[in-house]
Amino acid sequence: MTTPIRRPANPCFSSGPCAKRPGWSLAALGDAALGRSHRAPVGRDKLAEAIALTRTVLEIPADYRIGIVPASDTGAVEMAMWNLLGARPVDMVAWESFGESWVTDAVKQLRLEDARVLTAPYGDIVDFAEVDFDRDVVFTWNGTTSGVRVAPGTAIPADRAGLTICDATSAAFAQALPWDRLDVVTFSWQKALGGEAAHGMLVLSPRAVARLLAYAPPRPLPKIFRLVSGRKLIEGIFKGDTINTPSMLCVEDYLDALRWGQSVGGLAGLIGRADRNAGALDAWVRRTPWVANLAARPEIQSNTSVCLRVVDPAVAALAPDAQADFAKALATRLDRQGVAHDIASYRDAPAGLRVWCGATVETADIEALTEWLDWAYAAAKAELEA
């Protein structure tokens, strides 16, 4: 097959850390409060601005608390679990590797004896009709490693007795989240807005705050997990007084990403960009016989971390290890050509490819990538048949 002429302008299709916003350069960080204390007025003001802009862009209700916390999305999820779980029975819902990590935390680390585990295989999700929302519920909105998401319109009852704790790290800024049905939402800076890593966001509903104040978990809490002191919420966390020292360079980068998000139309604009990117990739999948979306049904297909599998009968007939080697060869070939970096499937996921389609990616780059995917497949298939 002829080598394509058109190349993606930005070959970064990693599912995290994700591509920087279009037009980004180090000059965007020129106003960073470097060498200054994050507790000085300049540092606090920038952290408070990051919280305020997060609320604006994501359209988070005014009575929800938003905090910047350590250790990315993982730190935010575990902070919520360690503080809140145990007050009532919990449903742990998982359909990919990160959701399975939260199950492990609940069952083996927190040792919650009343935890009920509901799982689905890669490419599918749990039937939410089976979830008991009178219990606490921990789940991932978008499976970063499986390419599936909670289907639009999925029912979460308004009159639920339990709390809903939602890992939304690859959904926030790209998918509509029903804030009134979510009590804890977590995400990181390095996903849909292409920010820098190590910092997480923790969003709490009034119901979650009430639980924090009423429930004392029967376990020691590390300092970086503590949200309550003397039976009172540590309000500073939600005003810019972070628990540990944040990188003010990363804060500046997040502020730049948020402002860019506003410039493209806010949440609706960001969702539209991701939808167009995923739509362009899906159009290629539909006309290409050797590849298919890992998602079992169109309504649960992710518009960010799109996972693909090779369905060519000749490849599917290979042993599992050989299938994995074939998929890795595709990713490696594209990486060496400098047209697509980091698109191999996640190590625990089925063999295939994973292409980030979030808002910081340009649709023209997705369209150019599809030509190279065809080229890489043709070359790998020729080697297989040789």
What integer pLDDT is reported at residue 162 of this predicted model? Answer: 98
Would you say residue 8 lies in a domain? no
Of 210, 235, 262, the position where a domain reaches its end is 262
| C-alpha span between 372 and 3 (Å, rounded) | 8
Tokens 């730049």, located at residue: 256
Query: Are residues 190 and 196 in contact, defined by beta-carbon separation less than 8 angstroms?
Result: yes
The Cβ of residue 108 has, within 10 Å, a number of other Cβ atoms equal to 9
What integer pLDDT is reported at residue 386 of this predicted model? Answer: 78
Tell me, yes or no, whether 224 and 78 share the same domain: yes
Would you say residue 115 lies in a domain? yes
User: What CATH number is associated with residue 340?
Assistant: 3.90.1150.10
Tell me, yes or no, whether 77 and 146 share the same domain: yes
Would you say residue 5 lies in a domain? no
User: What CATH number is associated with residue 172?
Assistant: 3.40.640.10
Structure tokens at 318: 């290979």
Tell me, yes or no, whether 201 and 285 share the same domain: no
Of 262, 280, 314, the position where a domain reaches its end is 262
Query: Are residues 261 and 359 in contact, defined by beta-carbon separation less than 8 angstroms?
Result: yes
Give the torsion through C-alpha atoms of 228, 168, 309, 298, to 10 deg. Answer: 140
| C-alpha span between 254 and 266 (Å, rounded) | 15
What integer pLDDT is reported at residue 246 of this predicted model? Answer: 96
For the entire predicted model, the pTM comes to 0.97
Would you say residue 47 lies in a domain? yes
Tell me, yes or no, whether 209 and 295 share the same domain: no
Tell me, yes or no, whether 165 and 51 share the same domain: yes
Tell me, yes or no, whether 186 and 285 share the same domain: no
Of 233, 262, 291, the position where a domain reaches its end is 262
Burial of 207 (0-12, 13-18, 19+ CB in 10 A): middle
Tell me, yes or no, whether 257 and 294 share the same domain: no
Tell me, yes or no, whether 281 and 217 share the same domain: no
Tokens 């503590």, located at residue: 226
Contacts 24+ apart (CB under 8 A), 280-285: 280/363, 280/366, 280/367, 280/370, 281/306, 281/355, 281/357, 281/366, 281/369, 281/370, 282/306, 284/367, 284/370, 284/373
Q: What share of the chain is helix, strand, coil (3-state, %, to 5)?
A: 40, 15, 45
Helices (H), the chain: 41-58, 72-84, 97-104, 206-214, 248-263, 266-287, 313-316, 320-336, 363-385
Tell me, yes or no, whether 271 and 258 share the same domain: no
Spell out the per-residue pLDDT of the chain, length 386, in tens. Answer: 799 999 999 999 999 999 999 999 999 999 999 999 999 999 999 999 999 999 999 999 999 999 999 999 999 999 999 999 999 999 999 999 999 999 999 999 999 999 999 999 999 999 999 999 999 999 999 999 999 999 999 999 999 999 999 999 999 999 999 999 999 999 999 999 999 999 999 999 999 999 999 999 999 999 999 999 999 999 999 999 999 999 999 999 999 999 999 999 999 999 999 999 999 999 999 999 999 999 999 999 999 999 999 999 999 999 999 999 999 999 999 999 999 999 999 999 999 999 999 999 999 999 999 999 999 999 999 998 87
Tell me, yes or no, whether 46 and 170 share the same domain: yes
First-to-last C-alpha distance (Å) of the chain: 15
Total structural domains within the chain: 2
Q: Tell me the helices (H) and strands (E) count for the chain, helix number first.
A: 9, 14
Would you say residue 10 lies in a domain? no
| C-alpha span between 386 and 176 (Å, rounded) | 48
Query: Are residues 278 and 303 in contact, defined by beta-carbon separation less than 8 angstroms?
Result: yes
Would you say residue 13 lies in a domain? no
Would you say residue 188 lies in a domain? yes
Tell me, yes or no, whether 250 and 340 share the same domain: no
Would you say residue 12 lies in a domain? no
Tell me, yes or no, whether 163 and 295 share the same domain: no
Domain coverage including residue 342: 266-385
